[in-house]
Structure 1
Amino acid sequence: MDNQSYRSGQIFWSDLTTENASNVRDFYQQVAGWKVEEIPMKDGEAQYEDYVMKDAEDIPTGGICHLRGVNTGIPNQWILYINVDNLAESIQKASELGGTLVHESRNKEGKLNYVIFQDPSGACFGLASTT
Protein backbone atom coordinates (compact mmCIF):
# COMPACT_ATOMS: atom_id res chain seq x y z
CA MET A 1 0.00 0.00 0.00
CA ASP A 2 1.43 3.40 -0.92
CA ASN A 3 1.03 6.75 0.84
CA GLN A 4 -1.74 8.16 -1.34
CA SER A 5 -4.83 9.59 0.32
CA TYR A 6 -8.20 7.89 0.22
CA ARG A 7 -11.74 9.18 0.60
CA SER A 8 -13.76 8.36 3.67
CA GLY A 9 -15.81 5.24 2.97
CA GLN A 10 -13.55 4.14 0.12
CA ILE A 11 -12.49 0.50 -0.16
CA PHE A 12 -8.75 0.91 -0.52
CA TRP A 13 -7.12 -2.48 0.02
CA SER A 14 -7.80 -6.21 0.27
CA ASP A 15 -5.80 -9.00 1.83
CA LEU A 16 -5.99 -12.76 1.82
CA THR A 17 -4.56 -14.31 4.97
CA THR A 18 -4.02 -18.05 4.77
CA GLU A 19 -1.85 -20.84 6.15
CA ASN A 20 -0.30 -21.55 2.75
CA ALA A 21 0.34 -18.03 1.42
CA SER A 22 3.24 -19.07 -0.84
CA ASN A 23 1.12 -21.55 -2.82
CA VAL A 24 -1.83 -19.17 -2.99
CA ARG A 25 0.55 -16.37 -4.09
CA ASP A 26 1.68 -18.57 -6.99
CA PHE A 27 -1.95 -19.40 -7.87
CA TYR A 28 -2.97 -15.73 -8.16
CA GLN A 29 0.28 -14.81 -9.87
CA GLN A 30 -0.50 -17.28 -12.65
CA VAL A 31 -4.28 -16.76 -12.81
CA ALA A 32 -4.34 -12.93 -12.56
CA GLY A 33 -0.87 -12.16 -13.90
CA TRP A 34 0.09 -10.36 -10.69
CA LYS A 35 3.69 -9.54 -9.83
CA VAL A 36 4.99 -10.25 -6.34
CA GLU A 37 6.81 -8.00 -3.89
CA GLU A 38 8.03 -9.77 -0.76
CA ILE A 39 7.50 -8.00 2.56
CA PRO A 40 9.75 -9.17 5.45
CA MET A 41 7.78 -10.26 8.51
CA LYS A 42 8.56 -11.72 11.94
CA ASP A 43 6.76 -14.18 14.17
CA GLY A 44 8.72 -13.95 17.40
CA GLU A 45 12.27 -14.63 16.24
CA ALA A 46 11.20 -16.50 13.07
CA GLN A 47 11.34 -14.53 9.84
CA TYR A 48 9.18 -15.06 6.77
CA GLU A 49 7.66 -13.07 3.89
CA ASP A 50 4.17 -11.88 3.16
CA TYR A 51 3.38 -10.57 -0.31
CA VAL A 52 2.13 -7.41 -1.97
CA MET A 53 0.54 -8.36 -5.27
CA LYS A 54 0.96 -5.85 -8.13
CA ASP A 55 -0.70 -5.44 -11.50
CA ALA A 56 1.06 -5.18 -14.88
CA GLU A 57 1.82 -1.49 -14.22
CA ASP A 58 3.46 -2.33 -10.86
CA ILE A 59 0.53 -0.85 -8.91
CA PRO A 60 -0.29 -2.71 -5.67
CA THR A 61 -3.61 -4.55 -5.90
CA GLY A 62 -3.69 -6.28 -2.51
CA GLY A 63 -1.81 -8.61 -0.24
CA ILE A 64 -1.43 -12.30 0.42
CA CYS A 65 -0.33 -13.02 3.97
CA HIS A 66 0.60 -15.99 6.11
CA LEU A 67 -1.76 -16.80 8.97
CA ARG A 68 0.89 -16.15 11.63
CA GLY A 69 2.56 -13.34 13.55
CA VAL A 70 0.46 -10.16 13.43
CA ASN A 71 -2.05 -11.99 11.21
CA THR A 72 -2.88 -14.74 13.71
CA GLY A 73 -6.64 -15.01 14.13
CA ILE A 74 -7.65 -13.42 10.81
CA PRO A 75 -10.25 -15.45 8.89
CA ASN A 76 -8.97 -17.35 5.84
CA GLN A 77 -10.74 -15.26 3.19
CA TRP A 78 -10.27 -12.11 1.11
CA ILE A 79 -10.96 -9.14 3.39
CA LEU A 80 -11.60 -5.66 2.04
CA TYR A 81 -10.53 -2.59 4.01
CA ILE A 82 -12.67 0.55 4.24
CA ASN A 83 -11.11 3.94 4.99
CA VAL A 84 -12.82 5.79 7.86
CA ASP A 85 -12.18 9.27 9.25
CA ASN A 86 -12.12 8.19 12.89
CA LEU A 87 -11.24 4.57 13.59
CA ALA A 88 -12.26 4.65 17.27
CA GLU A 89 -15.71 6.06 16.43
CA SER A 90 -16.24 3.52 13.65
CA ILE A 91 -15.26 0.65 15.98
CA GLN A 92 -17.75 1.86 18.57
CA LYS A 93 -20.52 2.28 15.98
CA ALA A 94 -19.87 -1.17 14.45
CA SER A 95 -20.08 -2.74 17.92
CA GLU A 96 -23.28 -0.85 18.79
CA LEU A 97 -24.90 -2.00 15.55
CA GLY A 98 -24.21 -5.71 16.14
CA GLY A 99 -20.76 -6.10 14.60
CA THR A 100 -18.23 -8.40 16.25
CA LEU A 101 -14.56 -7.49 16.56
CA VAL A 102 -12.50 -10.34 15.07
CA HIS A 103 -8.96 -8.95 15.05
CA GLU A 104 -7.05 -5.76 15.76
CA SER A 105 -3.54 -4.72 14.79
CA ARG A 106 -1.53 -2.16 16.72
CA ASN A 107 1.78 -0.49 15.91
CA LYS A 108 4.79 -0.51 18.24
CA GLU A 109 3.39 2.51 20.11
CA GLY A 110 0.12 0.68 20.76
CA LYS A 111 -1.97 2.74 18.32
CA LEU A 112 -4.50 0.80 16.23
CA ASN A 113 -3.45 0.25 12.62
CA TYR A 114 -6.64 -1.51 11.55
CA VAL A 115 -9.40 -3.79 12.81
CA ILE A 116 -11.37 -6.63 11.28
CA PHE A 117 -15.06 -6.94 12.11
CA GLN A 118 -17.78 -9.39 11.31
CA ASP A 119 -21.00 -7.64 10.33
CA PRO A 120 -24.40 -8.88 11.62
CA SER A 121 -24.74 -11.13 8.54
CA GLY A 122 -21.40 -12.85 9.28
CA ALA A 123 -19.33 -11.18 6.54
CA CYS A 124 -15.86 -9.94 7.54
CA PHE A 125 -14.43 -6.54 6.61
CA GLY A 126 -11.60 -4.31 7.75
CA LEU A 127 -11.63 -0.71 8.97
CA ALA A 128 -8.63 1.61 8.90
CA SER A 129 -7.91 5.31 8.88
CA THR A 130 -5.33 6.29 6.29
CA THR A 131 -5.06 9.87 7.57
Structure 2
Amino acid sequence: MSKPKYEFGQFFWSDLTVPDATSLKDFYAEVAGWQIQEVAMNDNGEKYNDFAMMINNETPVSGVCNQRGVNKNIPPQWIMYINVESVSESLNKALKLGGKLLLESKKADGSYNFVIIQDPAGAVFGLGTVK
Protein backbone atom coordinates (compact mmCIF):
# COMPACT_ATOMS: atom_id res chain seq x y z
CA MET A 1 0.00 0.00 0.00
CA SER A 2 1.38 3.39 -0.96
CA LYS A 3 1.72 6.18 1.54
CA PRO A 4 -0.86 8.98 1.12
CA LYS A 5 0.40 12.19 -0.42
CA TYR A 6 -0.63 14.18 2.66
CA GLU A 7 -0.85 12.97 6.24
CA PHE A 8 -3.65 14.15 8.52
CA GLY A 9 -2.36 17.20 10.36
CA GLN A 10 -0.16 18.30 7.46
CA PHE A 11 -0.57 21.55 5.52
CA PHE A 12 -1.66 20.62 1.99
CA TRP A 13 -2.52 23.87 0.18
CA SER A 14 -2.18 27.63 0.41
CA ASP A 15 -4.24 30.41 -1.10
CA LEU A 16 -3.53 34.10 -1.21
CA THR A 17 -6.68 36.21 -1.14
CA VAL A 18 -6.28 39.85 -2.17
CA PRO A 19 -8.50 42.63 -3.59
CA ASP A 20 -6.84 42.35 -7.05
CA ALA A 21 -5.31 38.95 -7.84
CA THR A 22 -4.78 39.90 -11.48
CA SER A 23 -2.27 42.61 -10.61
CA LEU A 24 -0.43 40.43 -8.06
CA LYS A 25 -0.17 37.04 -9.83
CA ASP A 26 2.86 38.08 -11.89
CA PHE A 27 4.73 39.17 -8.76
CA TYR A 28 4.53 35.64 -7.32
CA ALA A 29 5.21 34.02 -10.68
CA GLU A 30 8.46 35.97 -10.97
CA VAL A 31 9.53 35.67 -7.34
CA ALA A 32 8.79 31.95 -6.94
CA GLY A 33 9.28 30.80 -10.53
CA TRP A 34 5.67 29.64 -10.80
CA GLN A 35 3.58 29.47 -13.96
CA ILE A 36 0.06 30.87 -14.02
CA GLN A 37 -3.11 29.00 -14.92
CA GLU A 38 -6.39 30.91 -15.04
CA VAL A 39 -9.30 29.52 -13.04
CA ALA A 40 -12.66 30.79 -14.32
CA MET A 41 -14.90 32.11 -11.54
CA ASN A 42 -18.47 33.37 -11.50
CA ASP A 43 -19.98 35.62 -8.84
CA ASN A 44 -23.72 35.88 -9.50
CA GLY A 45 -23.18 36.17 -13.24
CA GLU A 46 -20.07 38.36 -13.03
CA LYS A 47 -17.16 36.40 -14.52
CA TYR A 48 -13.53 36.84 -13.49
CA ASN A 49 -10.39 34.75 -13.02
CA ASP A 50 -8.55 33.50 -10.00
CA PHE A 51 -5.18 31.86 -10.60
CA ALA A 52 -3.62 28.48 -9.87
CA MET A 53 0.12 28.81 -9.50
CA MET A 54 1.99 25.90 -11.05
CA ILE A 55 5.41 24.25 -11.04
CA ASN A 56 6.57 22.96 -14.44
CA ASN A 57 3.16 23.91 -15.86
CA GLU A 58 1.68 20.75 -14.33
CA THR A 59 1.85 20.70 -10.54
CA PRO A 60 -0.46 23.15 -8.75
CA VAL A 61 1.14 24.57 -5.61
CA SER A 62 -1.01 27.51 -4.62
CA GLY A 63 -3.81 29.84 -5.54
CA VAL A 64 -3.88 33.60 -5.94
CA CYS A 65 -7.52 34.58 -5.47
CA ASN A 66 -9.62 37.70 -5.71
CA GLN A 67 -11.35 38.93 -2.58
CA ARG A 68 -14.81 38.44 -4.10
CA GLY A 69 -17.40 35.74 -4.57
CA VAL A 70 -16.86 33.02 -1.96
CA ASN A 71 -13.68 34.82 -0.86
CA LYS A 72 -15.25 38.24 -0.23
CA ASN A 73 -15.11 37.96 3.57
CA ILE A 74 -11.57 36.58 3.75
CA PRO A 75 -8.97 39.13 4.88
CA PRO A 76 -6.09 39.76 2.43
CA GLN A 77 -3.51 37.18 3.46
CA TRP A 78 -2.04 33.76 2.76
CA ILE A 79 -4.26 30.99 4.09
CA MET A 80 -2.76 27.59 4.84
CA TYR A 81 -5.04 24.54 4.71
CA ILE A 82 -4.58 21.65 7.15
CA ASN A 83 -5.52 18.10 6.14
CA VAL A 84 -7.94 16.67 8.73
CA GLU A 85 -9.77 13.37 8.89
CA SER A 86 -13.16 15.06 9.40
CA VAL A 87 -13.73 18.71 8.58
CA SER A 88 -16.96 18.83 10.59
CA GLU A 89 -15.36 17.28 13.70
CA SER A 90 -12.33 19.58 13.53
CA LEU A 91 -14.59 22.60 12.94
CA ASN A 92 -16.70 21.71 15.99
CA LYS A 93 -13.54 21.41 18.12
CA ALA A 94 -12.26 24.77 16.85
CA LEU A 95 -15.57 26.50 17.63
CA LYS A 96 -15.69 24.92 21.11
CA LEU A 97 -12.15 26.19 21.78
CA GLY A 98 -12.95 29.79 20.78
CA GLY A 99 -12.42 29.73 17.02
CA LYS A 100 -14.72 31.58 14.62
CA LEU A 101 -16.05 30.19 11.34
CA LEU A 102 -15.35 32.67 8.51
CA LEU A 103 -16.30 30.60 5.45
CA GLU A 104 -17.65 27.18 4.67
CA SER A 105 -17.90 25.33 1.38
CA LYS A 106 -20.22 22.34 1.22
CA LYS A 107 -20.74 19.54 -1.28
CA ALA A 108 -24.14 18.68 -2.72
CA ASP A 109 -24.60 16.01 -0.02
CA GLY A 110 -24.12 18.63 2.73
CA SER A 111 -20.65 17.52 3.80
CA TYR A 112 -17.80 20.03 3.83
CA ASN A 113 -15.35 20.69 1.03
CA PHE A 114 -13.42 23.02 3.34
CA VAL A 115 -13.82 25.67 6.02
CA ILE A 116 -11.84 28.78 6.93
CA ILE A 117 -11.51 29.55 10.62
CA GLN A 118 -10.10 32.38 12.70
CA ASP A 119 -8.34 31.13 15.83
CA PRO A 120 -8.72 32.86 19.24
CA ALA A 121 -5.61 35.01 18.53
CA GLY A 122 -7.00 36.22 15.19
CA ALA A 123 -4.93 34.05 12.82
CA VAL A 124 -6.82 32.54 9.88
CA PHE A 125 -6.41 29.01 8.48
CA GLY A 126 -8.37 26.44 6.50
CA LEU A 127 -9.36 22.83 7.12
CA GLY A 128 -9.99 20.26 4.40
CA THR A 129 -9.55 16.59 3.67
CA VAL A 130 -7.16 15.18 1.07
CA LYS A 131 -6.66 11.42 1.07
What TM-score, normalized by structure 1, do the two folds share?
0.89
Letter in 1 for 2:44: G
Counterpart residue number, 2:28: 28
- Aligned-residue sequence identity (percent) comes to 48
Counterpart residue number, 1:130: 130
Counterpart residue number, 1:106: 106
- Give, in angstroms, the shift of residue 6 of structure 1: 2.2
Secondary structure of the structure 2 residue equivalent to 1:74:
coil
Task: Count residues with an aligned counterpart.
Answer: 128
- Give, in angstroms, the shift of residue 5 of structure 1: 4.5
CA contact (8 A) 1:14 1:79 kept: yes
Counterpart residue number, 1:116: 116
CA distance in 1, matches of 2:75, 2:104: 12
- Give, in angstroms, the shift of residue 74 of structure 1: 1.2
CA contact (8 A) 1:33 1:56 kept: no
Counterpart residue number, 1:90: 90
Q: CA RMSD in A?
A: 1.6
CA distance in 2, matches of 1:72, 1:91: 20
Moved >4 Å (runs of 4+): none
What TM-score, normalized by structure 2, do the two folds share?
0.89
Gaps of 5+ in 2: none
**Could you say if the C-alpha distance between residues 27 and 47 of structure 1 is closer, same or farther in structure 2, counting changes exceeding 3 Å?**
same
